[in-house]
Every structure is written in C-alpha cells, then in structure tokens.
Chain A
Amino acid sequence: MATTRVLEWLGRFYIVLLLGFLYLPIVIMAAMSFNASPFYQLPFEWTTDWYISLWQNDQLIAATWNSIEIAIITTLISTALGSMASLALYRYEFRGKKFLQALLFPPIAIPWLITGTAMLIFFFGVGIGRGLIAILLGHVALALPYVIVVVSARLQTFAPELEEAARSLGANQWQVTMRVTLPWIMPGVIAGGLFAFAVSFDQFVVSYFLSTPGQTTLPVEIYAAIRKGFTPEINAVSTIIIVVSMALMLLTARFFKFGGEK
C-alpha cells in the first residue's frame, strides 16, 4: 500500500499548508507588536515598547478581562442551550420543525449592525436596559444558531438505533443522553463552544450598545483606538491572548480526548 502511504504524507503536508494560511495574518499581527512604527511601517525595527505601554494601559487590560469573562459565560450558556435544542430537533418529529430550523438563519444573515441596533431599541423599550445581563442576552443569542447548526451536523451521523438499544436495556432518558448520545456528539459540542467563544469575543456592536459607561470590552477599545489613534498595543494584547489560548488548547489536547476517537 505504498500509494496510501504517499497520499497520507501528502495529506499531512496539506494540513501544514492550511495552518500556514490560517496563521499568516496572526504571525504578522504578532510581528507588528514588536515593530517600532505605529503605522506598521517597514523596515522592521525591533522594540518591546508596545508591551511596556500595554502593561500601563489599565483600560485596555480591564477591557480584555471583561471580554474574556463575557465570552466564557456566553460559551457555557450557549453551548448548553444549543446542544439541548439540537437534540430536540434531532429526536422529535413535529409540525413546524422546519420553521424552527429556518429561524436560526436571521441572526446569521442579517448584518450584526442591524441586529444590534434592533436589540438596543428593544431592550430599552422593555426596560432591560444595559449592563452585563443585556450583553449576555445578546451574545448568547448570537452564538446559539452557530452552536445548533454545528451540533446538528454531528447529530446527523448518529444512529438512533443506539439510543433505542440503550433504552431497551433499561436505561432511562437521562442515562441514554448522558452515556450514549452526548459522548457521540461531544466533538460537535466542543466545536460549537469554540465558535460561540469566537462570536462573543469579537462581537462589537452589541457590546458597544449594551455596556454601561466606563465598562468596555476589547473590540470596543479596538474600534475606539482606530479613531483616537491606533497603536500596536492592540497587536500586543491580541498576541498575548493567542499565545495563552494556544498553550491552554495544546494542554487540553494533551490530556483530554474530545475528537471523537473511538
């Protein structure tokens, strides 16, 4: 099976190429955080000044922590609720199911600018106002459709007979779900959660509208910086976030199995 071996190596090489494409702008972002020019000017001049000034930029650091906090809570809530809904959409047949599935697309299709504006008007109209609760309401809602679509895709590969078999062996609904279904869809749940984190972490409009004065998030700070004067401190903080998350992820991959390995 020499061809198989060659094809497998080609495949691995292809993955390296893809990662190269995906990480190219990230590497540049990181490089520019060490470049002296605030306008990404070349030739490259090494400096760590942006990290030093970032260290003193309390506002940017506070905004980053806010963003991380909100993104984590959003991820937990939307992954849980989204996975539940996907299960229901998979397991049960009922009138209007197609409609419920179609309803997942307005939040994805309508530009976030319009959705965000609509949210703001509505939240004020009904008295929810602004603050952490409002931000979470918005972020979770924007992340939910992604989670449901991703988890549903994984569920499509699940054989319902497995659930039936477990049930016939005397397992109750809860046991069936936790012992049989959930382990199977876990890769989908993880992927959905990672997307949910990304949606929340990069969400600008909703955060801008709904955060209380003085309390901002990282994307809001980034947009404000573009107007007040952009500095590579933004690159520095983004680089730190990527490096730390990469370390955390690789650690996770080292100790947990979630890729659906049988």
Chain B
Amino acid sequence: MRMPRLTAFLTATAVFVSAFTLAAQAAEEVHVLNWKGYGADEPWAVANFEKATGFKVVNDFFNSEQEMLTKIRTNPGLYDVVMINAAFNDQAMAGKLIQPIDVSKLSNYADIAKDKAGSPMLNHDGKVYGVPWVWGLTALAINDKSFDKPPTSIAEMWDPAHKGRVIIRDDAVEAVQFGAIASGQNINDIKDMDAVKAKLTSLMPQIKTFWSSENDWNQMVASNQIDIGTYWSGSADRAKTHFKLPVSLVIPQEGAVAWLDAFSIPVGSKNVAGAEAFINYMIDPKFYVEWVTKVGAPVSANTKAVEALPEDAFNRKVMGSPDVAKRIQFQAPVTDEQREKYLALWQELKVNVK
C-alpha cells in the first residue's frame, strides 16, 4: 500500500504545516490512523466492529510514513490505533510515540505466525510495540503474453530478449534493494554497493520506462509494451483478478523484498481498551476472509486467517508456500543517510543512461 510520491509528499507537507491539535474526543470513540482504502475504513468492517463492541470508529488517513509519524507526534492523545510499517516501528518507539501493548487482551494474538510476532522490529526489551497485521511483497510480475512459462530467476530482467521491455519503479530505495537481491546480498545490510551499482547499470539499457503508480503498470501491460518488471504482490493479484489483465506474479528464486504492516497504540491514547478491541478485530479470520473476498487484501499475519481462505487462494497457495517464505527478505528500517545515499546512486544511474 504505497502511494505515488507526489501526492504523498503534498499531504505530508500539508500535515507538517497544519500540525495543530484537534478537538477532544468522546471516550467511546476509537481513532484509527491508517492508509486510505486499507481495510480498516471498509464501511462493512466498521459497522460490524461497532455492532459487536459498541465503540465508534473514527478514521483518519496518511499518505506516507513521514506524514504518519508527524501526525502522531503533533497530535498527542488524538489517536488510539495507528498502522505502522514494521520498518518504521523502531523510529516511532524511539520517539516515544507508541506504547507497549498488553497482548494478553488480544484473543487472536496467539494465532499470529511466530516469525512475525517475534520480529525484532516490533519487540523491544521484551515488550510488544506492534501487532503484525498483514504482509506483502515487492517482487516481479510478467506479461503473460510474452512468456510460454513463467521465469524463475531475477536474471530474466537482464535477458537481451527483453531489451526495452522491462519496467521498474522510480524509487531509489526499492531499486537499490532490488539490485542487492540480484547481486545476492542482504537487502538490509548491503556490503558491496559497487556490485549493486554494476547490476543496476547493466539493467538500465533494458528498461522501457519507470513506473510510479499501479495505473502506469496496468496501462503498459494493457497496451502490450512490456514483458517483465518489478511489481507489488497485491497489485499484481488485483490486475489479474479484478482487471482481467494478463499479469502474473513471479517470486524469483533469488528472493524478493517483503514488508510487514503492524498496529500500534500511540502514547496518550484515551481509549486503550477500544484500541485493543479494534486491533483484535483487525487480525480476526472472519474480518480477513471478508476483506479478501470483497476487496482483495495482502496476506494476513494470522495463520488461522490465511487457513480460512480457499485452498487455491493466491494469498494461501502462492504467498503461503514454505518455499516462498525461505526466499523473501523483510525490509528493515532505512536511515535518512542511507536514503540520501541511495538517491544519489539512483540519480547518477539515471543521468548516465543518456
């Protein structure tokens, strides 16, 4: 669930500037901060939760992680639940923005996959600061028309047969981490930047253009202009099932970048009980199945929720296969310095392509 950068930037800026505390809230309200159109604001889900618990849900949205952090920093006490990408949990905890969660109050917590619940990104000093919710991948997707059988290796992108028909996202961090996978490195601990650079340099002549939104990707594949490119797992699934486009997700044997979204409770929440109830509802299998069927969703961190899906469901069959679990690398926090360094490398590559 990422947004094109321009809108994200604009909203974030608007928030930086207009960061003034809003009105006080009624005790029985649960204020939730999340991406727009990302499960928690589905009208049927809100209605179900309100009927079951008596709490009233008030949704607010952010368009980038920076904006989310600014919102909770500048509105202490306003929010009860905030959705934070695990890679940013550290930063939120260090800024004393979120509080430890009493997981004994969450009946569904025990069903969360152990590797995700135990993630060092969400646990600090033996306390839980984030409850894993859903996860997804930045992997490859192919144009079915261009392949007889799906490729298995990331090296396919470098195949001269696809020259001028490869597409990647115009995002420095994603490009560098992708280069790390292609050069066999850990995305969170890139030792050999030169190898990454060499890999990406040789990829540049293959590239048709850079994409920035789901719409770009779908337009390109609809007009049969590309063969293969990086794509998000949820988007690839949506393109195939919802828009009926010839798109298939490929998780290369070399690996893929995974992200994990989790729920936290901000410091100063006025309705911790409501927050716990809401988080528990969000990781409930019943909610999840309905979300997948009605809208389409990433993979739940709750194993029981995934098992409740039909056997052949994409999120169960493909994403849930143990083989995939072995290959993917979860994205760790990226510091501002790293971000700037990656951008400098990325810009240099783009300039030299001329």
Contact = CB atoms under 8 A, between A and B. Distances in A.
Q: Report if A and B touch in the complex (beta carbons < 8 A).
A: yes
B148 to A, nearest CB: 23
Interface of B: 3-4, 6-7, 10, 13-14, 17-18, 37, 213-215, 218-219, 222-223, 243, 245
A228 B295 CA distance: 13
Nearest to B221: A39
Nearest to A208: B10
Interface of A: 37-42, 117, 120-121, 124, 130, 205, 208-209, 223-224, 226-230
Q: Is the interface of A mostly helix, strand, loop or mixed?
A: helix
Given A38-B243, A41-B223, A229-B215, A124 B17 contact: yes
B7 A39 contact: no
Contact of B14 (A37, A38, A39, A120): A120
Contact of B215 (A117, A205, A230): A230
Given A39-B218, A39-B222, A130-B18, A120 B13 contact: yes
A209 B15 CA distance: 9
A42 B224 CA distance: 10
B37 A228 contact: yes
17 contacts: A37-B222, A38-B243, A39-B218, A39-B245, A41-B223, A120-B13, A120-B14, A120-B17, A121-B17, A124-B18, A205-B10, A209-B14, A226-B4, A226-B213, A226-B215, A227-B3, A227-B215
A41 B7 contact: no
Given A37-B222, A39-B218, A120-B13, A223 B7 contact: yes
A41 B10 contact: no
Nearest to B224: A41
B13 A209 contact: yes
A115 to B, nearest CB: 13
Contacts, number: 45
Contacts of B223: 39-42
B134 to A, nearest CB: 19
Given A40-B223, A205-B10, A227-B3, 6 more contacts: A39-B223, A120-B14, A124-B18, A130-B18, A226-B215, A227-B7
Nearest to A229: B215
A117 B13 contact: yes
Contacts of B7: 208, 223-224, 227
A41 B246 CA distance: 13
B222 A40 contact: yes
B13 A223 contact: no
B10 A227 contact: no
B22 to A, nearest CB: 11
A227 B4 contact: yes
A121 B14 CA distance: 9
A41 B220 CA distance: 9
A226 B245 CA distance: 18
Contacts of B218: 39
A131 to B, nearest CB: 12
A81 to B, nearest CB: 27
A255 B215 CA distance: 44
A145 B222 CA distance: 42
Give the most central of A39, A224, A228: most B CB within 10 Å.
A39
Nearest to A117: B13
Contacts of A117: 13
B222 A209 contact: no
Given A37-B222, A39-B219, A42-B223, A227 B14 contact: no
